[in-house]
Structure 1
């Protein structure tokens, strides 16, 4: 299993999602490697401030990540990538996308975020042409406005719009909560969180490949 959180812009929740998902996989019994490929090293710094994570975190902010990751994998069953924004570090992000079997795009259900999906889709199409096997791509609705499901109400419009444009939108969504927004630098208690649901959904998606 290998999952990469990618987007054009910074500040969309890539690092938060990568850190929480890695914890959720660990809690699910799948031992992950968390790869921080953002030159800002936010995930690595988070692990240091939190006194360490229960899995390894490595920094690989380089343009040949896809060639180096397996040197650090060992017997780990999953890799989670915190990718830098494509607009500033395209060579690193594209290298990650060449390796990861699933690309996850965190998207806030707001019109400006939906408008950015066309260039993201173009980038994904370019990288697919470099791969021997196509990667799966999915949208994760992030910082949603309501704690319950986004099947109805304001966030359902974003889900519908993305689906109509051909995007695979994950059933799991991440609500706008201080629990996630203010968690940087703190130890993670992932039990009962939306990220446990995300891990479960991603594990089941792997079973359908």
Structure 2
């Protein structure tokens, strides 16, 4: 989730769902965006090897389990919070892990401040708090952001109270131009992303 469009929410959701599938899980991908980008991607790619459903409604948290069946994971693609707050907040009420994709650019980091308030508001509606983390996305080069040119973004986000995942997604055409095409997550940073999320859940 994020306040703004164009930060890689759908790309992250689609690639994550494929990574989970390739790890032997049976995910359900829920497209909560009225633009239906994830669903359209699936159609253009000739179908994904797991179900994709469109639920751009303000009570997603009440409906998802109706489609869950024996699925082992649910990946929810949320729309931008600034334009579709009811849908995104409903998704946040359901999801146990909130991932915020962020490009390590100064203007994007400045937009992060209001998200903490939104998170606190929705956390108060939950029986148990959700885990939250930032996924550094479209980073400047593939070396670790702890030492590379984006290390300052990781530090700035941490100082503002965000947990930043170890995994980061480099700025690669493989991801940027993947919309509408079949996805192979093996060997990609999104496989690392999936494995890190699974580890976080096991630890929790």
- With normalisation by structure 1, the TM-score equals 0.97
Name the CA distance, whole Å, in 1 between partners of 2:181 and 2:148: 32
Matched with 1:204 is 199
Equivalent of 1:90 in 85, 89, 96: 85
Name the CA distance, whole Å, in 1 between partners of 2:7 and 2:171: 12
Matched with 1:183 is 178
Name the CA distance, whole Å, in 2 between partners of 1:53 and 1:62: 23
Equivalent of 1:32 in 27, 31, 43: 27
Matched with 1:77 is 72
Name the CA distance, whole Å, in 2 between partners of 1:75 and 1:145: 39
Name the CA distance, whole Å, in 2 between partners of 1:122 and 1:116: 12
Name the CA distance, whole Å, in 2 between partners of 1:190 and 1:17: 11
Name the CA distance, whole Å, in 2 between partners of 1:55 and 1:95: 23
Matches within 5 A, 1:137-156: 137-156=132-151
Name the CA distance, whole Å, in 1 between partners of 2:160 and 2:58: 30
Matches within 5 A, 1:8-27: 8-27=3-22
Q: Where in structure 2 are there 5+ consecutive unaligned residues? A: none
Matches within 5 A, 1:157-168: 157-168=152-163
Report the Cα offset of residue 173 of structure 1: 0.1
Report the Cα offset of residue 153 of structure 1: 2.6
**Aligned-partner SS, 1:154:** coil
* Superposition CA RMSD, Å: 0.5
Name the CA distance, whole Å, in 2 between partners of 1:97 and 1:169: 18
Name the CA distance, whole Å, in 2 between partners of 1:191 and 1:148: 19
Matches within 5 A, 1:49-68: 49-68=44-63
Name the CA distance, whole Å, in 1 between partners of 2:69 and 2:47: 19
Matched with 1:3 is none
**Aligned-partner SS, 1:191:** coil
Structure 1 window deviating more from structure 2 (159-168 vs 175-184): it is 159-168
**Aligned-partner SS, 1:88:** coil
Matched, 1:45 2:51: no
Name the CA distance, whole Å, in 1 between partners of 2:200 and 2:121: 23
Matched with 2:106 is 111
Name the CA distance, whole Å, in 2 between partners of 1:166 and 1:89: 25
What is the aligned length? 204
Report the Cα offset of residue 151 of structure 1: 1.1
Name the CA distance, whole Å, in 2 between partners of 1:119 and 1:19: 26
Report the Cα offset of residue 165 of structure 1: 1.3
Matched with 2:165 is 170
